[in-house]
Structure 1
Amino acid sequence: MTTASTYAEFAAREAHGVSPAYERLAFAVSEDAELPALLERLPPAKRQPNLLFGVVRLLGGPVDDPAAFHAYVLANWPAIEAEMRVRVTQTNEAGRCAVLLPVLTALPQPLALLEVGASAGLCLYPDRYAYRYDGHVVGSGEPVLDCALTGLEPPATVPRVAWRAGLDLNPLDVRNPADLAWLDALIWPEHAHRRARLRAAAAVAAADPPLLVRGDLVDDLPALAAQAPPGATLVVFHSSVLYHVPPPRRTAFVQLVRDLPGHWVANEAPAVLPHAGTPEPPGEVLHQVLALDGRPLAWTRQHGQELLWFGPSMSR
């Protein structure tokens, strides 16, 4: 895909109905005569809309008006380019715990959670948050994560977590104001509820920091997995991470994680991590596939706001 078509697809499949500002902005970039040429100076993985828009927000630039955005990017391109080269989209959306919860609660308890691509580790606390599935509340605490659930009864409780750890090439620390500012910049402009959710989840992590290890998802995963306590079910999981990873390394990771003890939970776009037996997606909007040990179970939305179950029941 060209850079222009990547931005057009983002507008139509990801931002449409979710962020009017980013939908307008992405369509404008796709039709721009200058901005795609600037972006093409960057490596392909660094041209993505969320990275560009997040960096502009971090630097204080406008994202609500395409003309102002165009002028700002042209005037400040050296600073924007420098930030885009050293940053990655580490959104760390705690809301994704809502789509992971039905799988996590069905596994033998307690759990030893190991998140690949953990960012600041905010998805390592599914036991500390509360959930609201179409009005049905599960658990207690803050934040409360809302999720539309179809095809499955809500979980009866939250999981028991005995150990939590994360692996990331560039782990973030929510106690560091600069790291928290980057996480905030990655939240889409209209999403005040996600901004409040970030602050609440960051308070949970700051009060009881997880074990976050700087490392590679293939080279360093076995050693970290070996630290999981005996008597707990190891669960290696990841969400919206593998698109950052070159295809040969994805293949190596899948081979590795299948051989580890415990379970593997993946929540990735089907083009990034295909699974045999996945049904047709529910419409043109981008969905991810939730899978357990390579078996597809449900369609999910990228911020954890919807779960469409098509797999068997997950009762223990």
Structure 2
Amino acid sequence: MGMKLSEQFQRFAKYECENSSKLYEVLSYQIAEDAELLDIVTTIPTGQPKPNLLFAIVHYLLFEKDESLKNYYPTFSDHLLPAEEAFLPFKQFVLKHEQSLNELFQTKLVQTNEVRRCAYLYPMFAEIYEEHKQPLALVEIGTSAGLQLGVDQYNYLYNGEISVTNSKTPVIISSENIGTPLPNAIYTTPKVKTRIGVDLNPIDLKDENELRWLQALIWPEHHERRELLKEAANVVTQLHLQLVRGDGIAKLEDLCELIPEGEMIVVFHTHVANQIPMEGRQQLVEKLSKISTKRPLYHCYNNMYDPNLHQDYIYDGEIIEKRMMENTDGHARWFNWAK
């Protein structure tokens, strides 16, 4: 077990933290060499990315504890101590709070809610609305806290110059489009009537602890993402969302049955399908095809069969690929719009 686990931390340091989080990069390399800490981490349930969960839980506990470890975290300190010296205080903190960590390992899940992904969903949804002139019914599988269901309420800035104002909220999502020019449809706010999010473990943004958990999942250096999360949470808590606990694929047909005629259904999910077994993905496609024999719908997604972003129109059982976008950043700092 030890070998494989230490490799996980080395890979995490190199492929995920490098140029993104100096603190986590330094700590990961050192945890990989520390038998005592690796032993604690073995209690994390299978299926959860262990480095992510360990760091998020320590971060989460630090929000409410007055400990010297905070001095190494950009989240809490403007007078940072060097990341290279953080390992010993980190280890002491983990050993001191081992019991809390073990309890949280069993109950917390890595559920990132990257609001910025709305940057590429928004032009798709705006275009669908313009084409069909019907209010949209958004159904998100793996919705987490439902932040992406507020897609029409946010403002956008593309390539530092294309500005889209949909609301008076302070939320401005900026991203670079490295593909073909965006459609004019983006300047008309799409009407959204129904917002349904399904998740095995939906997060209630009105619950302070749950919001803190989402904040803790964001890496210490990423201030801008934390700010955006806070602002978007304020918007989404004002909207009428239906958050449904359970398996999105199993519940899909029943949920679509409840959507009034005259609304265009858009089923979407980002960075979720890779966690669904292949037979589950096939079931999803079969269910969407079946629903489409009663009414047409859209399916917008990535990570089903490849990392690309897809937009399919499904009508009478037939899947028509509307667009496919390659080379999109996982945090949506850039995307590649395709006509």
Task: Give the TM-score band, short-chain normalised.
Answer: 0.7 to 0.9
Residue 210 of structure 1 is matched in structure 2 by 241
Residue 94 of structure 2 is aligned with which of 61, 65, 73?
A: 73
Matches of 2:42 and 2:125, distance apart in 1? 41
Matches of 1:217 and 1:250, distance apart in 2? 11
Q: Secondary structure at the match of 2:151?
A: coil
More displaced 10-residue stretch of structure 1: 290-299 or 106-115: 290-299
Residue 33 of structure 2 is matched in structure 1 by 31
Residue 177 of structure 2 is aligned with which of 146, 149, 158?
A: 149
Matches of 2:171 and 2:51, distance apart in 1? 27
Residue 12 of structure 2 is matched in structure 1 by 10
Identity of aligned residues (%): 35
Matches of 1:238 and 1:26, distance apart in 2? 30
CA contact (8 A) 1:101 1:155 kept: no
Matches of 1:28 and 1:154, distance apart in 2? 45
Matches of 2:274 and 2:215, distance apart in 1? 21
Matches of 2:217 and 2:194, distance apart in 1? 28
Q: Does 1:119 align with 2:144?
A: yes
More displaced 10-residue stretch of structure 1: 94-103 or 127-136: 94-103
Q: Cα offset for 1:124?
A: 0.3
Give the aligned residue type for 1:149. N
Q: Does 1:298 align with 2:323?
A: no
Give the aligned residue type for 2:178. T
Matches of 2:228 and 2:208, distance apart in 1? 16
Matches of 2:229 and 2:8, distance apart in 1? 27
Q: Does 1:225 align with 2:256?
A: yes
Asked which structure has the greater CA Rg, the reply is: 2
Assess, with a 3 A threshold, how the Cα gap between structure 1 residues 301 and 48 changes in structure 2: closer, same or farther. farther
Give the aligned residue type for 2:209. A
Give the aligned residue type for 1:172. I
Q: Does 1:307 align with 2:329?
A: no
Alignment gaps of 5+ in structure 1: 276-287
Assess, with a 3 A threshold, how the Cα gap between structure 1 residues 71 and 210 changes in structure 2: closer, same or farther. same
Matches of 2:216 and 2:277, distance apart in 1? 25
Q: CA-to-partner distance for each residue in 1:219-268, whole Å, 9 max, x for gaps?
A: 22221122222112211111222344445434433443454331111133
Q: Cα offset for 1:121?
A: 0.8
Q: Does 1:266 align with 2:291?
A: no
Q: Cα offset for 1:216?
A: 0.9
Residue 140 of structure 1 is aligned with which of 131, 142, 166?
A: 166
Matches of 1:129 and 1:167, distance apart in 2? 21
CA contact (8 A) 1:99 1:300 kept: no
More displaced 10-residue stretch of structure 1: 18-27 or 247-256: 247-256
TM (norm. structure 2) is 0.79
CA contact (8 A) 1:11 1:27 kept: yes
Question: CA RMSD of the aligned region, Å?
Answer: 2.4
Q: Report how many aligned residue pairs link the two structures.
A: 295
Matches of 2:26 and 2:232, distance apart in 1? 30
Residue 170 of structure 1 is matched in structure 2 by 201
Assess, with a 3 A threshold, how the Cα gap between structure 1 residues 267 and 176 changes in structure 2: closer, same or farther. same
Q: Secondary structure at the match of 1:126?
A: helix
TM (norm. structure 1) is 0.84
Higher percent of residues as helix: 2
Residue 44 of structure 2 is matched in structure 1 by 42
Matches of 1:113 and 1:159, distance apart in 2? 11
